[in-house]
């Protein structure tokens, strides 16, 4: 065989491969568009199915957004860990100020604020409402304070515990304490709720599979005669199931998009009340929604569930249909 014949045969094989690839893409494009047309023919039923899928996906995603915003708030509180050191009553003010300066130079201390006895009395008088009772006292009963804030980084609880022991050992300090137990409890509750969200996501994902599987089963039932005719003409199962698989993809895609819209709309409705509540506490807090990556994961999860649910339903019910 000559070189020209070898080259012609190679070119012929390449043409066949290109033709097969082109035909494969054309078949998938036809099934993709055909499945969308089938959904558009029954807009109400398709919208109801997509809505149920969207709500099922939005519930765990919405709880995830709530937990992430709660985590943002609690992380800000953790950064405000503050130890209160009560100085002894007989410590002179000069020595107290010098002690505050010395502590502020330590590497594990971020900030030290000194509150004198007079300042502590004035703040207590303003906040407590017992001004007349305090005027009746001959001496100031309140000690001077050192508000010590540990430097952030590493393990904040361990660093605060070490610094607390150091402050208690100082001869000028009568007592030292800090209360972050409620923050730790909140973090523990967030961890539990995070597990609950994961479990909820699994159960609702299974519900989405059942919804899509049942919807595809109904589509197969209504097109049973078409499937029988297609099998009579030699259509393979993969060729017949392709439009049903894409129908599941469309359901999953529309459900994922609807879930994202529901979450975005809910956060928009909560934006003003949350901002007003933050202002009442002299702060500012903006609700954070799903990031672009998280939104893609949500929509991709809907598509994957739609594809898997439709594949399970088609594989099970298509084998039961045989031409008479």
Q: How many structural domains compose the chain?
A: 2
Residue 94 lies inside a defined structural domain of this protein = yes
Same domain for 175 and 159: yes
Same domain for 67 and 98: no
Same domain for 209 and 108: no
Instruction: Report, as an integer, the average pLDDT of 146-173.
Output: 77
Closest CA to 87 of 141, 38, 145: 145
Same domain for 169 and 98: yes
Ranking 63-72, 115-124, 181-190, 256-265 by mean pLDDT, the lowest is: 181-190
Same domain for 311 and 209: yes
Q: What percent of the chain has pLDDT over 90?
A: 4
Residue 4 lies inside a defined structural domain of this protein = no
Asked if residue 280 has pLDDT above 70, the reply is no
- The pLDDT-based confidence of 261 (bands split at 50, 70, 90) is very high
Domain end (from 148, 179, 210): 179
Same domain for 124 and 220: no
Mean residue pLDDT across the chain = 77
Same domain for 232 and 203: yes
- The pLDDT-based confidence of 274 (bands split at 50, 70, 90) is confident
Give per-residue pLDDT as tens, 194-230: 888 889 888 988 988 888 888 888 887 877 777 777 7
Same domain for 274 and 193: yes
Residue 226 lies inside a defined structural domain of this protein = yes
Report DSSP state, residue 100. Answer: H
Closest CA to 53 of 228, 237, 276, 213: 213
What burial class does residue 26 get, using C-beta atoms within 10 Å of its C-beta: 0-12 exposed, 13-18 middle, 19+ buried? Answer: exposed
What pLDDT is attached to residue 133? 61
Asked if residue 3 has pLDDT above 60, the reply is no
Residue 26 lies inside a defined structural domain of this protein = no
Domain of residue 91 covers 82-179
Same domain for 135 and 254: no
- Paired tokens of 310: 């439709």
Asked if residue 312 has pLDDT above 70, the reply is yes
For the entire predicted model, the pTM comes to 0.64
Instruction: Report, as an integer, the average pLDDT of 148-168.
Output: 75
């Amino acid at each position: 065989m000559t070189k020209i014949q070898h080259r012609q045969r190679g070119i012929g094989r390449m043409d066949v491969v290109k033709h097969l690839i082109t035909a494969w893409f054309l078949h998938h494009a036809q099934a993709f568009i055909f499945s969308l047309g089938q959904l558009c023919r029954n807009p109400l039923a398709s919208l109801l199915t997509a809505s149920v899928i969207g709500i099922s996906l939005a519930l765990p995603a919405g709880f995830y957004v709530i937990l992430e915003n709660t985590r943002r708030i609690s992380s800000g509180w953790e950064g405000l860990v503050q130890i209160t050191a009560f100085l002894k009553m007989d410590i002179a003010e000069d020595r107290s100020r010098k002690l505050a300066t010395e502590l502020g130079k330590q590497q594990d201390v971020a900030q030290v604020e000194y509150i004198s006895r007079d300042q502590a009395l004035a703040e207590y008088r303003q906040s407590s409402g017992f001004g007349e009772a305090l005027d009746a006292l001959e001496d100031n009963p309140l000690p001077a304070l050192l508000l010590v804030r540990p430097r952030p980084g590493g393990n904040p609880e361990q660093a605060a515990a070490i610094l607390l022991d150091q402050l208690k050992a100082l001869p000028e300090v009568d007592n030292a304490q800090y209360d972050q137990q409620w923050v730790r409890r909140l973090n523990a509750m967030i961890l539990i709720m995070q597990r609950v969200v994961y479990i909820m996501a699994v159960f609702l994902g299974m519900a989405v599979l059942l919804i899509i599987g049942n919807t595809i089963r109904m589509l197969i039932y209504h097109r049973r005669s078409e499937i029988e005719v297609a099998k009579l003409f030699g259509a393979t199962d993969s060729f017949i199931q392709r439009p049903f698989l894409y129908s599941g993809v469309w359901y999953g895609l529309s459900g994922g998009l609807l879930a994202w819209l529901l979450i975005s709309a809910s956060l928009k409705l909560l934006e003003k009340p949350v901002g007003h509540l933050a202002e009442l506490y002299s702060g500012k807090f903006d609700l954070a929604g799903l990031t672009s990556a998280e939104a893609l994961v949500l929509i991709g999860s809907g598509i994957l569930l739609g594809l898997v649910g439709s594949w399970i339903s088609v594989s099970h019910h298509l084998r039961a249909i045989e031409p008479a």
